[in-house]
Amino acid sequence: MQNGPLITTFKALSSIDTSWILWPDAAAITGNAWLLVYAVTILAFFLIGLSIAIKYFPFLLNDFKTISNSNLPDVAIKLWFALVLVLPLFLDAGPVWFTVWWAIILRGYMNRVEKKLIISAMLCIALSGWFTGFGGKLFTYASTHLNTEIFLIEQGLETPDDIQRLQTYVLKNPKDSMASNALAIALIRKGELEQAVSLLYGCISNDPENPVYYNTMGIALAAQQKLKEAAGYFENASNLKNTDLIYYFNLSRAHLEMFNIFEADKYIEKMTELDPRETNRLLSRNTYPMYVFKNTDLQTMFKRQMADSIKGESAAGELWHAGFGVFRPEWALWGGFASLGLFLLAGLIPSDRFTRKCSRCGNTHYVGSTTEKGYPVCLQCSLIETKSKKQHAIIVQHKLMEIKHFGSINQKKTAKLELILPGLGSMLVNRTLRAVILFLVFSFGLLLIITGGVFIHSFVPSAWNYMPYLRALGAMMLVFMYLSVFNYPPIRKGI
């Protein structure tokens, strides 16, 4: 974002504001962290779906051939099913629906852990409408509710255009006291005091418990030389919040202007009691303006940016569209539950219709058993484990060879796949948790490298340039992950 004139005044700006971080920076950092989580989740979710599709696609083809007993050429069958799998592409669907679609089609082949994973992902989809609604507001923080103009005025950085926009807005939204207060500050600086005072009367009657408006009113009245009245307003402000130095400071300035040196000193003493360092800082600034405006605190600015707005809503819609597409975000809840329903419904097909691959010897079978953790094993392997070895000595001998053989072939194959897409090899050998962690790390690292962690910018030139560090962090994550994948390929153990 270009903000030429701001750069020169930025130093002064950060020395005025006492908060450790300015709202535009804080809002940008929060928004970026949120968007990164969103992007990582969607990418990892897509990779999980992709690896499931790669894992079970051959089984699907095999079963189709067995059931249909057709004479169709192999290529035609493959093409047909590939087309079925990429169907969401034709519907302009986001990456998430691919995973949902694949999971529903391939449910019969999936093991217990994978099913649980998909179910929790579908529950996340149900909540995604709310999640993107929140993100939309973070995304549009600078362009809604005149937040930017209010911030710039409070920092003394406003342009005539900012004031003009705020004026138009306040006319339409007279109940928005924060906006009126900011406009009043701008008017006080321009010397249009009558108008400022009448705006501030409105603010106080709308929100009589807020000390900020009494403070601004005090400054406006002091500028009109109504010092006694001004002191009264500052006193009101300090009564409403008796820990804020600024109100006592202004109070002492007003008394000083009235030559009540004793009174003025009394408030300085009070300030020193509360915070000697800050008192010193306030007293040492002997420049105009003499009085100090109270800036809106971070928390209140955040609350304001999170209020509903049309822009925020349309940004939320776009965010949702990027990950989901086809539907509107309002349908997220139904979309999530509908896909969950279809997924559970797909479980009604008898399980012996689906090819399973024994996780011990690698033979495919229709009727078999599962391990404790829910991974498939063929009857022979399950027999070996449950029955005594004496009875089946010969089978056992033969079978053990087969298992060993499968283990060594499998290991090479999965190690290679793991290097192409970390997690893919793990998924194929039923190390699902490891696969999910690798997908998450991979997505996180990749997105950090691509985006530098920055999706939105702060509208004030920020002292916080964390992009190169985050890029480096992303690169390091990927390097370490590939190294560890290379050193510890997914071994078929502990299934």
Q: Which residues bind Zn ion (CB under 5 A)?
A: 358, 360-361, 378, 381
Q: Are the CB atoms for 33 and 467 separated by under 8 Å?
A: no
Token readout for 248 is 């006592």
Q: Which is nearer to Zn ion, 72 or 379 (CB)?
A: 379
Contacts with 78 (C-beta within 8 Å, 6 or more apart), sequence order: 61
Q: Which is nearer to Zn ion, 265 or 385 (CB)?
A: 385
CB of 360 to Zn ion, least distance (A): 4
Instruction: Using the minimum distance from each CB to Zn ion, give the nearer residue, 103 or 361.
Output: 361
- Closest contact distance (angstroms) between CB of 71 and Zn ion is 31
What is the C-alpha separation between 196 and 20, in angstroms, rounded? Answer: 30
Minimum distance, C-beta of residue 381 to Zn ion, in the bound complex (Å):
3
Q: Give the separation between CA 371 and CA 429, rounded to whole angstroms.
A: 14
Nearer to Zn ion, 56 or 442 (CB): 56
Q: Which is nearer to Zn ion, 253 or 360 (CB)?
A: 360
Q: Find where tokens 């409403």 sit.
A: 240
Nearer CB in complex with Zn ion: 272/411: 411
Q: 103, 52 in Cβ contact below 8 A?
A: yes
Sign of the dihedral through C-alpha 150, 152, 157, 158? negative
Q: 411: which 2 tokens? A: 């290991």
Q: In the numeric block, which tokens belong to residue 380?
A: 């022979």
Choice between 381 and 436, CB closer to Zn ion: 381
Tokens of 428: 């194929």
Cα distances from 419 to residues 76, 198, 213, 332, 416, in angstroms, run: 31, 70, 62, 35, 5
Long-range contacts of residues 225-228, Cβ cutoff 8 Å, at least 24 apart: 227/254, 227/257, 227/258, 228/258
Backbone angles phi, psi at 242, to 5 degrees: -85, 15
CA angle at residue 38 from 35 to 41, to 5 degrees? Answer: 150
- Residue closer to Zn ion by CB (options 255, 360) is 360
Cβ contacts of 19 within 8 Å, gap of 6 or more: 295, 297, 298
Compute the least distance from the CB of residue 54 to Zn ion, in Å. Answer: 22
CB of 63 to Zn ion, least distance (A): 18
Q: Which residue's CB is nearer to Zn ion, number 361 or number 470?
A: 361
Give min distance, CB of 58 to Zn ion, in A. Answer: 17
Number of other CB atoms surrounding residue 216 within 10 Å: 27
Look at the block and give the residue holding tokens 């701008």: 186
Among 277, 264, 220, 214, residue whose Cα is nearest residue 242: 214
Q: How far is the CB of 394 from Zn ion (least distance, A)?
A: 16
CB of residue 34 vs Zn ion: minimum separation in angstroms?
46
**Smallest distance from Zn ion to CB 378, Å:** 3
Q: Are 127 and 336 in contact (CB under 8 A)?
A: yes
**Residue 485 contacts residue 418 (beta carbons within 8 Å):** yes
Nearer to Zn ion, 96 or 358 (CB): 358
Q: Rounded to an integer, what distance in angstroms lies between the CA atom of residue 75 and that of residue 36? A: 41
CB of 375 to Zn ion, least distance (A): 11
